Chain A
Amino acid sequence: MLNKDFEVVNQDYQNMGKVSSQIKKMLLEIGFDPKILRRIAVASYEAEINMVIHAYGGNIHMDVDDDGLITLIFHDLGPGIPDLTKAMTPGWSTANEKARNLGFGAGMGLVNIKRVSDTFDIKTSPEGTILTISFKG
């Protein structure tokens, strides 16, 4: 039903969250329930931020199928997550000083994404991290 790609630029702190806003707007226009959009907004914002502050940017792909299943794929360009178990632990963060000063680095992003999404899959290697989440609309 709908397919779209968005670029996320490495270390572009000014525009962080822009893609997530666009995604939310597009899904609202299609007519999705505000409730599910709020969950999607939380997940996509956290994932988008991670691509900017922890990775070298990348691509976000959105797919909406005919049954209303919304799939979001966050594909960054590395450096990957060395220890996924640690990364998924609430409160664990490697955010640098700059990110922390802006209010990032609570170590809650991935946990939040997992909590609000219906499916959650993460694959990571030094070449990049691919996070795939979906929502039943």
Chain B
Amino acid sequence: MKIKDLKNISQFNFKNIANEDIEISGVFIGDLLSWVMANGKEKQIWITVQAHLNVIAVSLLKEFSCIILCDNTSCDEEFINKCKEEQVNLILTSCSAYECAKELINLDL
């Protein structure tokens, strides 16, 4: 399963796609950064409601395949530009973390 395979999910807004050919290893949901640091695995999709620059730093250090900001979490231009600069895949959605997970499970993730 690659990032580009998520494009059929209509509720997902692809805000930045830096690399759509990354192979997704799974999904991690969490907003407590040290919990994410401890338990996240490389190439996972990370679903969170945190949208500040540190989230991008965590995503890069953990080598996540994509950040999904769920629950209509808004992010500013600076955040989006940083994702572009650092080549971090970013999806925005109004879905809750649970609904995101359901969509991803439907794709056999």
Contact = CB atoms under 8 A, between A and B. Distances in A.
A56 B63 CA distance: 29
B9 interface: no
Contacts of B48: 103
A21 B38 CA distance: 17
A103 B32 contact: yes
Contact size range, B: 20 to 34
A104 B61 contact: no
B52 A102 contact: yes
A16 B61 CA distance: 12
Given A17-B54, A38-B42, A103-B50, A46 B34 contact: yes
A45 interface: yes
A108 B60 contact: no
B58 interface: yes
Q: B interface, by DSSP: helix, strand, loop or mixed?
A: helix
Contact of A20 (B33, B61, B63): B61
Contact of A108 (B38, B42, B54): B38
A121 to B, nearest CB: 20
A18 B57 CA distance: 7
Given A24-B61, A38-B63, A102 B42 contact: no
Contacts of B57: 16-18, 20-21, 45
What class of interface size applies to chain A in its complex with B? Answer: 20 to 34
A119 B60 CA distance: 25
Interface string B31-70: 1111111100010000010101111011011110000000
A107 B32 CA distance: 10
Given A103-B33, A108-B35, A42 B52 contact: no
Given A17-B61, A41-B61, A42-B61, 16 more contacts: A14-B53, A16-B54, A18-B57, A21-B61, A38-B62, A42-B38, A45-B57, A45-B58, A102-B50, A103-B31, A103-B32, A103-B50, A103-B54, A106-B32, A108-B32, A112-B34
Interface of B: 31-38, 42, 48, 50, 52-55, 57-58, 60-63
